[in-house]
Amino acid sequence: MKYFSPLLLFIAGWFLLLTTDSFVEIGLVNGLLQLLLFTLVVCIPTWRTGRMSYVDIGWPWGLTLIGVLTWHYSEGDSMRVAVVSMAYIFAGSRMGFGALKMWKMGYLKTEFPRYEYQKRRWQKAGKTNTVLAMQVEAILQGLANASFLAIPAFVIATNPNKGISIFEIIGIAVWCGAFIMESIADMQKLAFLRKMKQLGEKNKVCNVGLWKYSRHPNYFAEWMVWNGLVIAAIPSWLLLYQQESIVIWGLLGVGCLLASRMMYTTLVYYTGAVPSEYYSVQKRPEYKQYQLNTNIFFPGPNKK
């Protein structure tokens, strides 16, 4: 049971969609296609190679799938449906094409450090059957796309109103600002690495630009992208009160909030900052001082 218990929350989230009047069809189709996608792209390659890095291909293309299905199945205002669908398609495809490029260049022939770190966690938890643990992990990622990560898109796309709410304006502004921030952070990191390569410097700590104020500004920005979607979903969720029972309506609101919470946990503890820094401290002599001076996630002034 210790192997399968992490799946229960996500199964409950998918079941929630299947019990609604508004999302039963799109929830069923999305769930089945996500499981098919992850079986072919993640589970089978992971089983054959013993590496979990294929999650980095399956998960973003799963987001793209959510966007495509939202556009096809949703019956809300056409402009609102198009905007939220494109948000998922654009974000998912951007990461998905990057993952395919890494696969083509051979980077997936070795396990990514964050997944090596996850295997260390399993050992400490007494999960000695690594093959089973990897398969459960892959299915968990697919169920996340089938449940909570899809809820903001589905909720927003049910709204038939032509007018735009202040919450939607704020949500779109947060999404756009966070996406720009993430792109800038990535470009600054690449520029720093190129400069260090030209200077012949190895294992230096990137502490320029946004990286002076957060050790992981790209992860923070990715989290804010999801917060923008959650904020934009508020007026559409309020309208669902007229269509769903009070219990289902309340649980859908909780589901939207869980999308934000799950991404925060993932980006900080699960496969994000903490696993990354475990290896950075070993690889980069100056990283411990960087940790003392700079916030791990939320941007802010350097610590004294």
Cα 263 to chain centroid, rounded: 6
- What Å distances lie between residue 230 and 151, 161, 214, 225, 260, CA to CA? 9, 18, 23, 9, 7
CB 23 within 8 A of CB 152: no
What is the residue-level pLDDT of the chain in tens, covering all 304 positions?
A: 778 999 999 999 999 999 999 999 999 999 999 999 999 999 999 999 999 999 999 999 999 999 999 999 999 999 999 999 999 999 999 999 999 999 999 988 999 999 999 999 998 988 899 999 999 999 999 999 999 999 999 999 999 999 999 999 999 999 999 999 999 999 999 999 999 999 898 889 999 999 999 999 999 999 999 999 999 999 999 999 999 999 999 999 999 999 999 999 999 999 899 999 999 999 999 999 999 999 999 999 987 6
CB 156 within 8 A of CB 23: no
Residues 6+ apart with CB under 8 A from 150: 17, 27, 30, 66
Q: What is the C-alpha separation between 32 and 28, in angstroms, rounded?
A: 6
Q: What is the C-alpha separation between 185 and 267, in angstroms, rounded?
A: 15
Question: Which SS3 state, helix, strand or coil, does residue 278 take?
Answer: helix
CB 70 within 8 A of CB 30: no
Handedness of CA 58, 277, 178, 227 (dihedral sign): positive
Q: What is the C-alpha separation between 149 and 226, in angstroms, rounded?
A: 9
Residues 6+ apart with CB under 8 A from 11: 143, 147
Cα 211 to chain centroid, rounded: 21
Q: Tell me the residue type at 164.
A: I
- pLDDT given for residue 304 in this prediction: 66
Residues 6+ apart with CB under 8 A from 155: 233, 236, 237, 240, 252, 256
Question: Which SS3 state, helix, strand or coil, does residue 62 take?
Answer: helix
Question: In this structure, which long-range contacts are made by residues 235-239, counting pairs with CB atoms below 8 Å and at least 24 apart in sequence?
Answer: 235/159, 235/161, 235/165, 235/167, 235/168, 236/76, 236/80, 236/155, 236/156, 236/157, 236/158, 236/159, 237/155, 239/158, 239/159, 239/161
To the nearest 10 degrees (0 to 180), the angle between helices 24-38 and 130-146 is 150
CB 43 within 8 A of CB 138: yes
Q: Quick one: which of 66, 84, 253, 89 has its CA closest to 168?
A: 84
Q: Quick one: which of 224, 203, 214, 199 has its CA closest to 282?
A: 203
Buried-exposed string 51-82: b where 16+ CB fall within 10 A, e elsewhere: bbbbbbbbbbbbbbbbbbbbbebbebbeebbe
- pLDDT given for residue 2 in this prediction: 79
- pLDDT given for residue 23 in this prediction: 97
